Amino acid sequence: MMQEIPFDHQKLLELAAARMPFGKHAGMLLIDLPETYVIWFAGQGFPEGKLGEMLQTVYAVKVNGLEYLFDPLRPKERR
Protein backbone atom coordinates (compact mmCIF):
# COMPACT_ATOMS: atom_id res chain seq x y z
CA MET A 1 0.00 0.00 0.00
CA MET A 2 1.39 3.40 -1.01
CA GLN A 3 1.45 6.12 1.65
CA GLU A 4 -0.18 9.40 0.64
CA ILE A 5 2.00 12.46 1.16
CA PRO A 6 0.11 15.54 2.32
CA PHE A 7 0.40 18.46 -0.10
CA ASP A 8 0.38 22.07 1.05
CA HIS A 9 -0.44 24.42 -1.82
CA GLN A 10 0.35 27.48 0.28
CA LYS A 11 3.93 26.29 0.89
CA LEU A 12 4.40 25.77 -2.84
CA LEU A 13 3.21 29.32 -3.56
CA GLU A 14 5.44 30.65 -0.79
CA LEU A 15 8.44 28.83 -2.25
CA ALA A 16 7.70 30.20 -5.73
CA ALA A 17 7.89 33.77 -4.35
CA ALA A 18 10.76 33.29 -1.86
CA ARG A 19 13.98 35.21 -2.42
CA MET A 20 17.53 34.56 -1.28
CA PRO A 21 18.08 36.82 1.74
CA PHE A 22 21.90 37.03 1.66
CA GLY A 23 25.09 36.53 -0.27
CA LYS A 24 26.04 36.87 -3.91
CA HIS A 25 22.51 35.97 -5.06
CA ALA A 26 20.61 38.12 -2.54
CA GLY A 27 17.19 39.09 -3.87
CA MET A 28 17.03 36.30 -6.47
CA LEU A 29 14.07 33.95 -6.40
CA LEU A 30 15.16 30.72 -4.72
CA ILE A 31 13.88 28.70 -7.66
CA ASP A 32 16.13 30.76 -9.98
CA LEU A 33 19.33 30.22 -8.00
CA PRO A 34 22.05 28.59 -10.11
CA GLU A 35 21.98 24.82 -9.75
CA THR A 36 25.68 24.78 -8.87
CA TYR A 37 24.99 27.11 -5.92
CA VAL A 38 22.17 24.92 -4.62
CA ILE A 39 24.35 21.82 -5.02
CA TRP A 40 27.09 23.62 -3.08
CA PHE A 41 24.63 24.18 -0.22
CA ALA A 42 23.73 20.48 -0.33
CA GLY A 43 27.40 19.62 0.14
CA GLN A 44 28.11 22.24 2.82
CA GLY A 45 24.84 21.87 4.69
CA PHE A 46 21.65 23.85 4.27
CA PRO A 47 20.90 26.69 6.70
CA GLU A 48 18.71 25.90 9.67
CA GLY A 49 15.02 26.69 9.70
CA LYS A 50 12.58 27.64 6.99
CA LEU A 51 15.22 28.87 4.51
CA GLY A 52 17.07 25.57 4.78
CA GLU A 53 13.87 23.62 4.20
CA MET A 54 13.07 25.74 1.16
CA LEU A 55 16.58 25.34 -0.26
CA GLN A 56 16.34 21.56 0.21
CA THR A 57 13.13 21.60 -1.79
CA VAL A 58 14.75 23.77 -4.49
CA TYR A 59 17.62 21.26 -4.59
CA ALA A 60 15.20 18.38 -5.18
CA VAL A 61 13.36 20.37 -7.86
CA LYS A 62 16.56 21.32 -9.71
CA VAL A 63 18.22 17.90 -9.51
CA ASN A 64 15.08 16.37 -11.02
CA GLY A 65 14.68 19.05 -13.70
CA LEU A 66 11.30 20.25 -12.43
CA GLU A 67 11.86 24.03 -12.46
CA TYR A 68 9.24 24.38 -15.21
CA LEU A 69 6.56 23.49 -12.64
CA PHE A 70 7.15 26.89 -11.04
CA ASP A 71 6.63 28.92 -14.24
CA PRO A 72 2.89 29.50 -13.67
CA LEU A 73 3.53 30.27 -9.97
CA ARG A 74 6.17 32.96 -10.41
CA PRO A 75 5.43 36.46 -9.16
CA LYS A 76 3.84 38.55 -11.93
CA GLU A 77 6.91 40.77 -12.48
CA ARG A 78 8.87 37.67 -13.61
CA ARG A 79 6.36 36.45 -16.21
pLDDT (tens digit per residue) in 33-78: 999 999 999 999 999 999 999 999 999 999 999 999 899 888 776 4
Is the alpha carbon torsion for 21, 27, 32, 38 positive or negative? negative
Q: What is the pTM for the complete model shown?
A: 0.84
Residue 72 contacts by C-beta under 8 Å, 6 or more apart in sequence?
none
In the prediction, which pLDDT does 10 show?
87
- At 4-39, the pLDDT tens digits run 666 678 888 999 999 999 999 999 999 999 999 999
